[in-house]
Chains A and B, each alone.
Chain A
Amino acid sequence: MRLQSKIIFITTPVVVIFILAIGGISFSMLQEATVEKAVGNTRSFLNSTGGKIQVLYDNAAKDIELFANSNLLENYLLTTEEEVRYTLLQPTIIRLFSSYQKANPNYYEIRILLPDGYEDTRVVLADQPNVTEEEGNTEIFQAMRQAQNDLFTRICRNPDNGKISLFVSKRMLLRDPNLNPVSSPKTLRGYLAVTIDLDFIDKKINEAADEYGTTFQLLDRNGNIYFHSDKEPTLSPLPDKILQEAINNGKTDSPFAISDKQRTFLALSRQVNDTLLLLAKIPKNHLYASSYRLGLAVAFTTVSAIIIFAALLYYLGKQFIVKPVILLRNAATELGHGNLDITIDQSADDEIGDLAHSFIEMRNNLQQSHEQIRHLAYHDFLTGLPNRVMFLDFFNRSVENARRHNRVCALMFIDLDNFKRINDTLGHNLGDNLLRQVARRLQETIRKSDFIAVSAMDDDPDMIARLGGDEFTVLLSHIRDQNDAAIVARRQLLALSEPFKLDSHEIFISVSIGITVFPFDSTNVEDLIKNADIAMYHAKERGKNNFQYYSNSMNKEALERLTLEGELRWAIERNEFILHYQPQVDTRTREIVGLEALVRWLHPEKGMIPPKNFIPVAEESGLIVPIGSWVMKSAVRQIRAWQQQGVPVVPISVNLSSPQFQSKEIYNIITAILNQTGVPRKYLKVELTESILLKAEEEAINMLHDIKKTGVEVCLDDFGTGYSSLNYLKRFPIDVLKIDRSFVMNITSDPKDAEICSAIIALAKCLNLSVVAEGVEQQDQYEFLRDKGCDSIQGFYFYRPMPAEDIEKLLIAGQKPQAETNEQQLQ
């Protein structure tokens, strides 16, 4: 059985029994109330009708007494001659009776009957037939005559009109006025008779129809029924037993049960007077029919309530129990199919909520296990690096991304040289240990690749994987050009050239690295893998411990760079660098107020190598640091030399490279050389680029402050090209701003650049910094800058960079520069 059905089957009977009980109780209460109401209504009807009839009787008796007291009537009755009576007197009597009738319209017949029953006078309301004028033998007259009392009342049918009427009469006993008024006997002169319309009773009991079909009877104690509202006569004549019961209950008003052959009734009776009784019969079937109707309504209500309840229960059960359970079931099914990303509503604060909670817990555990399994499936057990499967997947995606974004990426195959021998001699444990250490060092080389990766935010991180045995792959997913791969390769060779500690052993290893570059070598994943492998074997063939590109041209380029780097190392030792200086001229006086030291490499075979050709190599190889130190030292020594020669010196600016700036050595070097030579601090300035400041850490900033404290001025190079945050100017102790040549170049043609220059100069003035513009090549540029208030100018318009000897002459001469044409060619 479904849960839904169970809930309904369990709950419904309880509610049904409850509702049925309420229905039953209300049914019986309604029935009781119905009976009570019917009996009450009937009783009050009987009382009011009985009262009315009684009042009628009473009034009739009083009225007839009043009528009989009339002198006219007495005179009339004492008049014996018919002729006199009828021609002379009767109209007056008729008029009298008519006036009574006008006052009492239900006294529809007022008559004088003579002792022999002759109808002497008859006044009727409307023209009514008169059956006979000789009433002597009629039943009513006989009864009237034989009655004990002078006042006589009886209900019977009026033969004139067939209507049940109340007959009230009074014996007229009069003394003859001609005789002794005291002693003479009264003689009967006739009867005054009033016939009273009882239609109102008939009307009243017929109009009293209630919803139970109650009928009424007006009857006398002999069981003669005068009026009834039965549609068809029932219990007529009334059996003696019932009549007796009606008489007995006539005063108490208590209901009693009677029945005829077909039906049973609840009866009520009321005694009207000595002779009359009112009887009401409430048919029980109708009485109960109405309560059965009520019962039916109750039953209907009950059934409706049950249906509504069941529907409500169905809905609520569905909403709050079955639906969550089904959701859980569906979730379980989903989970069974391996979908772990299901979400389940745990908000319910009940067992189902608990169940959902447990379910989520189970899912989380399952997810963890899955993760572990997946990790095992996708990672190398030994090193924890991604395994072949994951690598291939990742590589595919990276290549796809590179293709989409037109990027360059490189794949490197790394194979340990002679690993088999190490394994054999030292055992597998140590071999494994070694592989783990190799993996760790390789990862570090990648982590240091921040200056190689185009963006640290790159969505494709680099990856190292172990494909098996001693074979590793490195994926550089986003590089600037193929040379970046060489840099990494060299870093790796270097990192792995350090000895490894395995237990007590210290061993040296080397690796062979094969590199292939997308998209230059191939755009196909399989081909790239093949290429890398081939390149790796090339490296083995080339005597191991090296790297090889798949493409020869790349190899050549790499070789050249490598050669250059090697030569650069030599160049430091052989002192192949020289310094040139470019003067800075005061804008107003045109006097030389400073020099910028610029390094030049004088190669023994290749001649002068321009800085752009070797500085990147120097930076990548880290040789920039010793070169930078050399420049610093050389520049200071030059000042010292000129001072000793008596040449009037001006401050010299020396560029600091990023690695230099990062290493704290530079402070020591500066202070050391200055102390060593005794050159005043004011003759040395250091220049930093915005990009260096961008990466500056707290320590470096402190160092810069220290340098500044010694009295060496700090100059911000290339201002306006980078982020040019005003924050620099706050955070760093800067003395001089150098407007980048790119702005100066277009100063006269591009209004925007002109505006920027003006703004920088204005800004510097505000901050009390001096401004140097570099790259000034034309007169109008100079004039613009001069007009804007730039402090000094550096550029071909005045001087190109020159060897120390030429500068020396200029300084000695103190000459103001004439023009560009006067400058010596030094490039």
Chain B
Amino acid sequence: MYTAVLKKSFSLLVILLSVVSFYLIRTSNALASQDVDNQLKLLNWSEYFDPEVLAEFEKKFGITVTETYYETDEIRNEILFNTNGIGYDLVLSNGSSISAYAKHNWLAPVSDQHIPNLQYVSRKWRNSFPDAEQYGVPFLWGTLGIAYRKDKTTKPVTGWLDLFKPEEALQGKIIMIKYSRDLVGMALKALGYSANSTDSNELEAAKQLLLAQKPSVKTYSYVTLGENSSMLSGDAFMAMIYNGDALVLQQRDPAIAFVQPKEGCSLWCDFFVIPASSKKKELAYKFLNFIHEPAIMARLAQYASYATTNTAAEKLLPQGFRDDHNIYPTREILEKSETYTDLPPRVAKKYNDIFNLVIQ
């Protein structure tokens, strides 16, 4: 309950209130709960982490975990920026943000010494993003695709253009992820370019595609996965979505389908990072080590319907889970897909400009 309210007020604040007051509230929230010794503050996606596992951890170590949720990667960055990276003990970050955090001196390094269970984690994922190996503990990984209502579409949905140039029936029923790399990157993919393109012409084309799509978009945010999800209520028929979330929705309503677009997509991996300002790094290590217990990790992966980076845990997963191509994409999709690389700063700026134009 508490988190839900917080999340709600959060989005309201972002949109409606001035940044100054927002900043004050955030700071005071962070400060208000700082000085409890056995408390671990976690900045995390919502509906991502199995609460039972969390409860087990709390029980086992006598640690209280307080979660703060963010809605998009963008908002997470903003939260951190507003507090200058202070106030959290653990942050779940996408891989591509780690290097920036690190450069800004927000992160504390992690190593196998602190977290023995890192031994189970695939090397491939540990260094899949710049600076990730030094600062990040891989968690789950996934792809980006399109969730849609089979009962509301007339044409088969196969590629990104089915989302960016939607058919008439989907006008105003589309939800797009409010994250610059996902928005611009997938527009680039839709046009056949690299999701990490630095070419200004390609970026311009992607911008035009996004602006053209804008009138059809219901909102730039992220689909919620609960029973009140707009995809279930009929307020939205199609959404850009991370694959596991789509599977959660599918479990709630079989009319919802998920597709990995034929152009390929972004391959992402979430990492836990420990802010440099955290005074409870030891607790954080305990937490990270705990979740990478193969059995625990297997539960977490299944809870969120995402692939895990823990190879030992992978082995504990049911065969059906491991064979699900929506969780473990086919080689073909994987080959066409990309992870986000660090962009040259002034190109990143361009991504920001495009993003701002589209969402404003």
Contact = CB atoms under 8 A, between A and B. Distances in A.
A515 B103 CA distance: 173
Interface string B43-74: 00000000000000000000000000000001
Nearest to B345: A82
B352 interface: yes
Interface string A777-820: 00000000000000000000000000000000000000000000
A524 B346 CA distance: 151
A95 B19 contact: yes
A127 B101 contact: no
A745 B99 CA distance: 168
Given A84-B104, A89-B81, A71 B23 contact: yes
By DSSP majority rule, is chain A's interface helix, strand, loop, or mixed?
A: helix
Contacts of A84: 100, 103-104
Nearest to A102: B360
Given A86-B346, A86-B348, A91 B360 contact: no
A58 interface: no
A571 interface: no
Nearest to A123: B356
Nearest to A120: B349
A94 interface: yes
A95 B342 CA distance: 22
Contacts of A126: 357
A133 B200 CA distance: 13
Contact of B78 (A75, A87, A92, A98): A92
Given A82-B346, A87-B348, A96 B19 contact: yes
Interface string A87-123: 1111110111011010000000000000000001111
B81 A122 contact: no
Interface string B79-99: 011101000000000001101
A86 B349 contact: yes
Contacts of A133: 346
- Among A70, A79, A91, which residue has the most Cβ atoms of chain B within 10 A? A91
Centre residue among B77, B82, B352 by max chain A CB count within 10 A: B352
A83 B81 contact: no
A729 to B, nearest CB: 127
A112 B80 CA distance: 22
Contacts of A90: 348-349, 352
Interface residues of B, number: 34
A85 interface: yes
B189 interface: no
Contacts of A124: 357
Contact of A95 (B78, B80, B96): B78
Nearest to A94: B356
Contacts, number: 87
Contact of B345 (A83, A92, A96): A83
A266 to B, nearest CB: 47
A609 interface: no
A79 B100 CA distance: 12
B19 A70 contact: yes
Given A72-B19, A94-B356, A122-B353, A87 B345 contact: yes
Interface in B299-348: 342-343, 345-346, 348
B82 A87 contact: no
Nearest to B100: A88
Given A75-B84, A95-B19, A83 B78 contact: no
A30 B59 CA distance: 96
B342 A98 contact: no
A98 B356 contact: yes
A101 B356 CA distance: 12
Given A122-B353, A127-B207, A83 B99 contact: yes
A91 B78 contact: yes
B19 A87 contact: no
A92 B77 contact: yes
A503 interface: no
Contacts of B357: 124, 126-127
A450 interface: no
Nearest to A125: B360
A124 to B, nearest CB: 8
A698 interface: no
B185 to A, nearest CB: 13
A81 interface: yes
Contacts of B18: 99
A101 B23 CA distance: 19
A94 B349 CA distance: 10
Interface in A19-50: none
The 10 A-B residue pairs with the shortest CB-CB distance, nearest first, are A82-B345, A86-B348, A88-B100, A86-B349, A86-B345, A84-B104, A94-B356, A87-B348, A87-B100, A92-B78
11 contacts: A72-B23, A79-B104, A81-B104, A86-B346, A86-B352, A87-B343, A88-B100, A95-B356, A98-B356, A99-B18, A123-B356
Given A99-B18, A125-B360, 17 more contacts: A75-B84, A81-B104, A83-B103, A83-B342, A84-B100, A84-B103, A85-B345, A86-B345, A86-B346, A88-B81, A92-B77, A94-B352, A94-B353, A94-B356, A96-B19, A101-B360, A126-B357
